[in-house]
Amino acid sequence: MRHEHGGNIYAKKCDIDFSSNINPLGMSENIKKAFINSFDMSVFYPDPECTELRKKLSLKEKVDFDNIICSNGAAELIFAICFALKPKKALLASPCFAEYEQALNACGCNIERYVLKEENNFSFDDGFLNKITNDIDIVFFTNPNNPTGVLANAEFVEKLANRCLKTNTIIVFDECFLDFVLNGENCSAKRFLSNKNIIILKAFTKFYAMPGIRLGYGLFADYNTALKVRSAMQTWSVSTPAQMAGIAALDDEKEYERTVEYIENEKKYIISHISNLAYKVFGHSANFIFFKEIKDFDKKMLEKGILIRSCKNYYSLDGSFYRIAVKSRDCNEKLIQAWTEVKRG
């Protein structure tokens, strides 16, 4: 199975890209200025410790400076975690982000799967918890799930954290999309960071609309685990422009509420129109919508200039499942118009 992602505008020409779920408000002017101003400093090696950025993150996340690692996107941390901790057996929900499987396979780890069921609207239940046994070394858990957009509530996150503590299993909570969720902080695993087996992944990619800059970070409950993971990464993986862009982003918190409110409104607008068009709409907790549609719907939409994300390369999904980003009102109107035309034939 190919590890294919959305946002590949280089391979598939389109007018509007709905396959990559980036903040529709775009990169802020402060981040752009910081990125440009970083060029003069780029004649030097970047700070290998990402000192200023981690100080800012420590204040924002309320996590000790020493327990934060910055990385070249969250994907680098996923691979570093696998190579540093060398798990023998992992549990993944299916479908889930493809990089987990790719990294686990690369380090020779056996993968156990828990298939999320369509008839259960791809929600998590106690069946997933029961799969976490003493022989499971690591669990990757995305909240909200990608690609289904289903959010695990605070109660389930607590059950999951406690279960992994009981079985001495490393649990990696991928919260890269949680910033887009209204009151999403309530579902974060941060309140369980006293459990030494927890790692939380986050990224600047989506929320701050800077995927081309590549910047992510991890919050580690255990300092020694953080050291192990850091030792599996290259020294200068986070460039000077990325560090300075990240610092500027964290100073730009006034954009946070505006972004969440904007996405909530546009999401409601899209769903109100596609509910009568799509075969079925599933999760939409973050800044994307997961749905079921006719065969080759992605190809038909591309003919209209709209690139959407086919989910057929995800384990346990077939070619009838798709994902779209939430974009600006103008783009969303064009999406709905193209969708209507396709369904009319």
For residue 122, the domain's CATH number is 3.40.640.10
258-285 per-position pLDDT tens digit: 899 999 999 999 999 999 999 999 999 9
Closest CA relative to residue 251, chosen from 59, 25, 116:
59
Indicate which CATH number applies to the domain containing 337. 3.90.1150.10
Span 66-86, mean pLDDT? 98
Q: Say whether both 124 and 227 belong to one domain.
A: yes
Bridge partners (DSSP) of residue 91 are 112, 139
Quote the pLDDT of residue 4. Answer: 56
If pLDDT is split at 50, 70 and 90, which confidence band does 27 have?
Answer: very high
H helix or E strand, kind and range, residue 174: strand 170-174
Q: Say whether both 172 and 245 belong to one domain.
A: yes
Q: Say whether both 320 and 207 belong to one domain.
A: no
**How many other CB atoms are there within 10 angstroms of residue 183's CB atom?**
7
39-71 per-position pLDDT tens digit: 999 999 999 999 999 999 999 999 999 999 999
| pLDDT(10) > 90 | no
Bridge partners (DSSP) of residue 192 are none
Task: Give the span between the Cα atoms of 137 and 335, in whole angstroms.
Answer: 43
Q: Say whether both 85 and 106 belong to one domain.
A: yes
User: Is the Cβ–Cβ distance between 60 and 38 less than 8 Å?
Assistant: no
The answer as to whether 2 is a domain residue is no
Closest CA relative to residue 87, chosen from 139, 161, 138:
138
Q: Say whether both 102 and 235 belong to one domain.
A: yes
8-state DSSP, 153? P
Crossing angle between the packed helical segments 223-231 and 73-85, to the nearest 10 degrees: 100
The answer as to whether 3 is a domain residue is no
Closest CA relative to residue 197, chosen from 113, 114, 139:
139
Quote the pLDDT of residue 13. Answer: 75
Q: Say whether both 246 and 292 belong to one domain.
A: no
Residue that terminates a domain, selected from 215, 250, 285: 250
The answer as to whether 171 is a domain residue is yes
Task: Give the span between the Cα atoms of 18 and 323, in whole angstroms.
Answer: 8
Residue showing tokens 């190579």:
83
Closest CA relative to residue 1, chosen from 318, 319, 309, 313:
313
Span 10-32, mean pLDDT? 87
Work out how many domains the chain is built from and give that number.
2
Q: Where are the alpha helices (DSSP H) in the chain?
A: 29-37, 51-61, 73-85, 98-106, 126-130, 154-166, 223-231, 240-250, 254-274, 297-302, 329-344
Q: Say whether both 216 and 273 belong to one domain.
A: no
Closest CA relative to residue 131, chosen from 142, 146, 116, 143:
116
Q: What are 115's two structure tokens?
A: 């298939």
SS3 at position 44: coil
The answer as to whether 8 is a domain residue is no
The answer as to whether 138 is a domain residue is yes
Q: Say whether both 179 and 109 belong to one domain.
A: yes
| pLDDT(9) > 80 | no
Cis before 95 (ω within 30): yes
Q: Say whether both 237 and 316 belong to one domain.
A: no
Quote the pLDDT of residue 12. Answer: 62
User: How far does Cα 55 stand from its chain's mean position?
Assistant: 23
Span 69-82, mean pLDDT? 97
The answer as to whether 216 is a domain residue is yes
280-338 per-position pLDDT tens digit: 999 999 999 999 999 999 999 999 999 999 999 999 999 999 999 999 999 999 999 99
The answer as to whether 1 is a domain residue is no
Span 152-180, mean pLDDT? 97
Task: Give the span between the Cα atoms of 87 and 156, in whole angstroms.
Answer: 24
Residues listed for the chain: 345
Span 74-95, mean pLDDT? 98
Range of the domain at 239: 29-250
The answer as to whether 5 is a domain residue is no
Residue that terminates a domain, selected from 250, 282, 304: 250
Residue that terminates a domain, selected from 211, 230, 250: 250
184-194 per-position pLDDT tens digit: 999 999 999 99
Q: Say whether both 33 and 151 belong to one domain.
A: yes
Quote the pLDDT of residue 2. Answer: 47
Quote the pLDDT of residue 7. Answer: 46
Q: Say whether both 239 and 152 belong to one domain.
A: yes
Average pLDDT score, the chain: 94
Q: Say whether both 125 and 244 belong to one domain.
A: yes
Q: What are 324's two structure tokens?
A: 């779209």
If pLDDT is split at 50, 70 and 90, which confidence band does 1 have?
Answer: very low
Quote the pLDDT of residue 287. Answer: 96
Sequence-distant (≥ 6) Cβ neighbours of residue 18 within 8 angstroms? 306, 307, 308, 309, 324, 325, 327, 331, 335
